[in-house]
Structure 1
């Protein structure tokens, strides 16, 4: 097919994308497309789907619009079952770059925010959003096999520091509001309890997504920097400890009596564990990524 061929099917889009360095004409002209290949949820067979994407600093975000249909698209069911996928993106020099990525379905709040932001500049996406009553999930795709490039690792280290600062700020703000809601011994207003529970779920989901992405990146760092194996092993163990704490918090959130009474105590312990985890990561891993060596 030639560059000016207008695709009529997904198979056409895939063929033109690969032949033309990621550029597709017709209704897709100028659209930031990627090709996502995931194993089928039932069959395990590889299935490739072209998707419009938002390229962020450390991830690619795609939306499960299914063209405004009331059912989730098959590719979303596939990545829920098999989150390790292959991505093809426009590369340098008119080539298509292919790499492995880890798919994480974002929280409803973050999905809605990103969808609304993108819909402001993408009329087709806005149309899909407005056509269906279905919640449209967003999926973040993070590369798991970045090139063995010190500049890439430096960016990863800088990103970790920024994320830690943001998460500390958000979690401390929630901690203060939980404490304020318990002062005086008066019952917590139902509306406030619902809002605190929503914010806690959002914070916990963000922490879960962050650690899931880190676990995928750690496999790469361990291959590139084998001397970090003990550091990464400890961080993985701490991730499992935090995951167990998040499960306990979710159980409390399912029980109205746990908001905010028992929740506050569990949340205090989570903050203490996260502070120790962040401090260790910032002293033992981040300097190595920034090229300053490993501090022990």
Structure 2
């Protein structure tokens, strides 16, 4: 059973689809469910994370610099298959404890993003573990805790809004350099947007076009906006990928993408969510 503080965070996280206040407000947070090393019962813990590139996220077993590894880490060492809740998606993952140069590189990347990790390491004699959580592919659509397709669409959109807000805040505090983790964060949201829009074009939009020919002008506009956003995504990828990328050049691309995407999401929600909700009504 989580301690009272963790349980409060877990309850708030689930009730508000990943949005919490207090200490974790505005932070990247996930719920990690592990299997007890001895009890073999499930244990859920709120854990901060970083995008890891591809279909993995990175978590760090700091325990605030305590002398012992946190329970969730000992659990996943014994039972590496875990459950991840992002606030939008819930999926199974394979936990891989990183070592050697890869562990050191990713820990240094985290320290570059937040000096607090270095402070935690300085407080303990143990080497703080770094763990990659690799999403396990599954058949069918991703699992979203939503009561309808309309709600699911809004939750996915809110996830993109939240991530872009975090990235813009990271730029505000990054100073004169574009850190390695911030690069990964930008590239990860680019990948996520590409996958989401490709899925809509091939799935949702085709299904709606077959059932609701009257929506053709709306769907045509949304497809054009997808193409325009894809251009902005590629431009962001290009400037982020430059070896000596200048944050003052990258930030405007982030802002352009965020503004274009916000207008697109608002229009899509306005025109499609009522249709999806009506289709789900008994």
Q: Please, what TM-score do these two structures have when normalized by structure 2?
A: 0.50
The higher relative CO (CA closer than 8 Å, separation ≥ 6) is in: 2
Structure label with greater radius of gyration? 1
Q: Please, what TM-score do these two structures have when normalized by structure 1?
A: 0.48
